[in-house]
Amino acid sequence: MASMHKGACFCGAVQIEVSGEPAGMGYCHCRSCRSWSAGPVNAFTLWKPDAVRVVSGAEHIAKFQKTAMSERQYCTKCGGHLMTNHPTFGLIDVYAATIPSLPFKPGVHVNYAETVLPMRDGLPKMKDFPSELGGSGEMVPE
């Protein structure tokens, strides 16, 4: 049986579920994620679209799309961030904090060339994105 984890926005009006295993987990250091999250780094979990389901409160989800790469979704009642659809990758980033029961096991740092919070954790540090997702695939030192 596939694992399932439930999550919600800050006020609980939007309830989501993710099922199975994420395609990846890690940290994004890009300026856009930092600005959107109001934090120095974004902890992400990536899922295939069919593994993410809005259980209730879909009418409270608003979207903001600054670029073709990211369609950010949030709750209109509390402003709580939920997830980002990455149509060019075929993946949805459900913010790690949105699904607290999922054990967060990061495997990589992306966009580390833009970091404002160096993290010495032994994980691979990518300059931007993996080449299979349209990035350079270059690694940078810790």
pLDDT at position 134, please? 87
pTM of the model: 0.93
Residue holding tokens 């009642």? 77
What are the tens digits of pLDDT across the range 46-77?
Answer: 999 999 999 999 999 999 999 988 999 999 99
Average pLDDT, the chain: 95
d(CA 61, CA 118): 33
pLDDT at position 122, please? 97
Per-residue pLDDT at 23 exceeds 80: yes
Question: Beta-carbon neighbour count of residue 2 at 10 Å?
Answer: 8
Mean pLDDT score, 10-25 = 97
Continuous segment of H or E residues that includes residue 139: none
pLDDT category at 1 given cuts 50, 70, 90 is low
Mean pLDDT score, 67-88 = 95
